[in-house]
Structures are given as structure tokens and as C-alpha cells.
Structure 1
Amino acid sequence: MTISEGQSHVKDDAAESTLPLDDGDIYVYQDGPRDAPVLLLIHGTAAMARSWDLMVPLLTGSHHVIRIDLLGCGRSAKPADGDYEIPAQGRRAGEVADRLGIKHAIVVGHSSGSTVAAALAEQRPDLVTGLVIINFGPDMDAFIAQEPAIGPAQWPPSEEQIRQLGKTGFPEGEEVPQIFVDGVRGMPFNTFAALMQAPRAYLEQRTLPDRLAPLGKPLLVIFGEDDRRWRSSSAAGYRAVPGARIELLSGLGHTPILEDPQRTAAPLLAFTAVHAAQAG
């Protein structure tokens, strides 16, 4: 099935489409010139493609920007019995790229979206020409947040429960955006639980540096120094990947793509200027 067989909404160089895959529909956003190098942006656990909204205008001057709602998130399908393991999410991202006719892309993951980016690079080294990891530790030893437990008896959770769950993802004293609250409440419990567990399982099986080092892909790691979810000092662990570049952003926390999009975009654009020649 081609993308034209799904639902599509186009405005200038922006388009939104529902792309049917064998195991669930994936919602896709495209922005920027279609002949430009491709950036594929992947959101974190229980988030959605719209978490990149403030970054997109800073990137489309020089890139074809593609965002997807991972299965279980945003406007994509949320099957209660779906496969939410990280390799499956990476495979779907590759299928989306294939359906869109993308041959090469630099893949950017925020938070646990970094594991999906890594899985895609492992599976499709032909597609991924470079990787950018934003605020995600190299292994579980870097994890510092203690999220409150929410069980099936408490589902769907209240807005306050969701805000407590997500508060370490944002600067202290700042409220969790409503779009994230609504996104979590729209998930079946089994989907939410599987999404939360999948990145941990992926890291416990093998650390990200161990996975990425053999691939030989250019790597940029961006980290808000005040992250309350992952130790920013852990970014040094990515130096095990030959040639890895690390950028620490002072005064920013776990979600620099929302807290200061311009400061976050600057090292990203510098990286893509060097490594995006093949991405398109």
C-alpha cells in the first residue's frame, strides 16, 4: 500500500498523512523542501511527534523534516496487544522511510526515542547516515528519575497523576504541557506499560555505545545539563563511539527541544551541515 492510499493533508510544503503498515497505522508529518537532506525526528516514550513543533521551523530552511508518531502514541494506532519493543518501533520507522521514498536520513531521537533511532541504525545502516541523541543516557546506570507507579486499577489516570509522572521531563516548577497529558490519557493501559518498559529492556540487553560503536555512523549527543531524568555527566559514556561529538547545554533540562529550541538546533544544524551530504 502506498502513502497515497492513506489520509493526507497538505499545506504548502507541510503534509500530514496516515500511513497504513501491517501492524498498525502510523501518523506522519512532513515539512520543508522535499529535495533537501532528510532529518527523521523520533519522540520519546509516551510523547508524540508534536513534541518537535518548536524545533521544526528552525530546521526546514535546509532540511526535509519527517516526524512520526510511534505506534501507541499521538495519532498513530494504539493496539493493546501491539509489539512495542524497540526493534519493532525501529523497523516501522524504516518502513515509513521506504514508503516515502527516502534513501538516506540523519535520525534524531529525543529521550527514549534515541533507542528507536539506534535500532533503526542497527537494522538499516543503508538508510541512516548519522545519529543525534538528545538527553538520553548511554545505559540504565545514568537514570535518576523515580516515576510514581500507575497500575491498571488507576487507569485512565487523572491529569494530576500524569503531571506527576512526567514532571522530571521538564524544568522544576514548570507544568507538563497539556498535549502530553492528553496523549497519555488516550492510551490503553497495556500500551502505556509496554511503551514504558521497552527502552529499559533495550538498554539492559546492550548499552547504546556498545550498539553504536561498530556501526561507524557519525554521532552527536546533545544534553541539557540540568536534566532531572538522566545524569548529564553520563554523556561522556558516548565517547566510546569513535568520533562522537558531545554538546552540553547549560541551564536546560531533559527537554531542550521545548525549553530552548534555538540553542538545541544550533549544534544539530552544525552537525547536519557536515554529515547530511548523503541524506536525501
Structure 2
Amino acid sequence: MPPPRVLLVHGAATTARVWDRLVPLLTGLDVVAATRPSTGDLRRELDALGDAAGALVVGVSGGATLGLALAATDVPLAGAVLHEPAVGSLVPGLLDHVVEGWRTGGVAGFGAALYGPTWRIDDAPDDHAAVGRDLAMFRAFEPAAPGAGQGPVLVTVGGRSPRPRHTAAAELHRRYGVAVRVLPGCGHYVQHDAPHALAAVVREMARVAAG
């Protein structure tokens, strides 16, 4: 069986350009980088990923949150690699520092708080209001178990990420049985700061999905 299509889903304060360091490391795979509309409505955001059926969904941050939501639907996925999604009430306060960054510094404050010092304002979409819409949507998100028959779902967390991110991943494993893996040497902005680590996991999951 050939490997599945790889669907890359970006998060808040980024665009499909955020995958520019990762895509060259996935040569030989059929890779599609989605451009999200950032409507602020979860259902509309999932509907916008219309080509997700049969794909290996790869998301970071808000993109991971959407991947987690998609896995809970009846859209059949080959699998998912989800780096540090939001987890709602499983870990209250997980996004408090991001909210504060947004409140005090707008898009620049949001990006710095969420992704760290390597994020730049040029990484954000031209429509800065999209960041606020995304933030509201992801703050309201509540996770659910992956649907029956979905491919394997792997949640990753950066070895350098703060403790609440590790707690969030552990809670997803405890509540819903998703696999968890720590990626050493990185934090939240893995596709930018440690693309080789993420690429290795994506290739591994693509091989698993291909049987």
C-alpha cells in the first residue's frame, strides 16, 4: 500500500508558509499544506479541510487542535501527528500566558508567548484579526476521543516545553488512550525550530499507515 497523503495544518499566527523548513524533508511523500480561513468557527475550520479523508494529518499548536477535533469525527484518517494541541478543561490555564500576550502585545505578544523567540511577525497572516478569532476558538475547544476506526493518533510534546504542555499530553493519553512522544531539543514551534525531529516522526507514521 502506498503511503497516505500528508495534510499539514497550521495554527494561529502562522500561515502555510510555516512548513517551509519541513516540506523539503518529506520528499517522496504526497504533501499538501492547507491554508486555513481562520473563521473562528470550529465546524467551518474542519469543513475547510475537505481533503482530509484518508490523509495523515500533521498539525502543530492550533493545527494540532484541529487535527484532534477531526480525529473525533467520522472523517476517516490514516492517522495523525499532533504537536501540543489545546486540551480545554483537561488542563485549565494552559493558554493563559498566550491570552496575556495577546492582551498586552496584540499579534506580536501572542506569537512571542506561544511560539517563543524564533517566531517573527512576518510569520503571521496579513489579517491580524484572524489571530483573535483563532484564539477565541481554541480557548473554547474541548477534546474528545478519536473515533472508532481512525488510524493511529500520536501526540507529541517538546522536550523543552513547559510542564503544563507535558501534563496536557499525559491527560490526552490517560483520558483517550492516544500515544504520546517527547521530541527532544524543541518546544512548541517544532516545525521551525526542529523540523528534522518532526519529519522523522511523520515519515514513521506514514510507514505505519502504509502497512
Q: Normalised by the shorter chain, which TM-score bucket?
A: 0.7 to 0.9
| One-letter amino acid matched to 1:133 | L
User: Which position in structure 2 is the counterpart of 1:165?
Assistant: 110
Among 125, 132, 149, which residue is 2:81 paired with? Answer: 132
Share of identical aligned residues, percent? 24
User: Which position in structure 1 is the counterpart of 2:17?
Assistant: 50
Q: Number of aligned pairs?
A: 206
Among 43, 47, 58, which residue is 1:91 paired with? Answer: 47
Tell me the alpha carbon deviations over residues 83-113 of structure 1, each in whole angstroms, 9 at most, x when there is no partner. Answer: 421121011111xx2xxxx752111111011
> How does 1:203-242 map onto structure 2 within 5 Å?
203=142, 207=143, 210-212=144-146, 214=148, 216-228=150-162, 230-239=164-173, 240-242=175-177
Q: Which has the higher contact order (CA 8 A, sep 6+)?
A: 2
Tell me the alpha carbon deviations over residues 203-254 of structure 1, each in whole angstroms, 9 at most, x when there is no partner. Answer: 2xxx2xx332655431111110222595223212232434x33210233111
Decide whether the 8 Å contact of 1:169 with 1:229 is kept in 2. no
| One-letter amino acid matched to 1:197 | A
User: Which position in structure 1 is the counterpart of 2:141?
Assistant: 202
| One-letter amino acid matched to 2:79 | G
RMSD: 2.8
Larger of the two Rg values belongs to structure: 1
Q: Per the alignment, do residues 125 and 169 of structure 1 end up closer, same or farther by CA in structure 2, a change over 3 Å counting? A: same
Larger relative helix fraction:
2
CA distance in structure 1 between the aligned counterparts of 2:165 and 2:25, rounded to whole angstroms: 27
Larger relative strand fraction:
1
Decide whether the 8 Å contact of 1:56 with 1:65 is kept in 2. yes
SS in 1 for 2:141: helix
Q: Deviation of residue 162 (structure 1)?
A: 3.2
Among 192, 204, 207, which residue is 1:273 paired with? Answer: 207
User: Which position in structure 2 is the counterpart of 1:146?
Assistant: 97
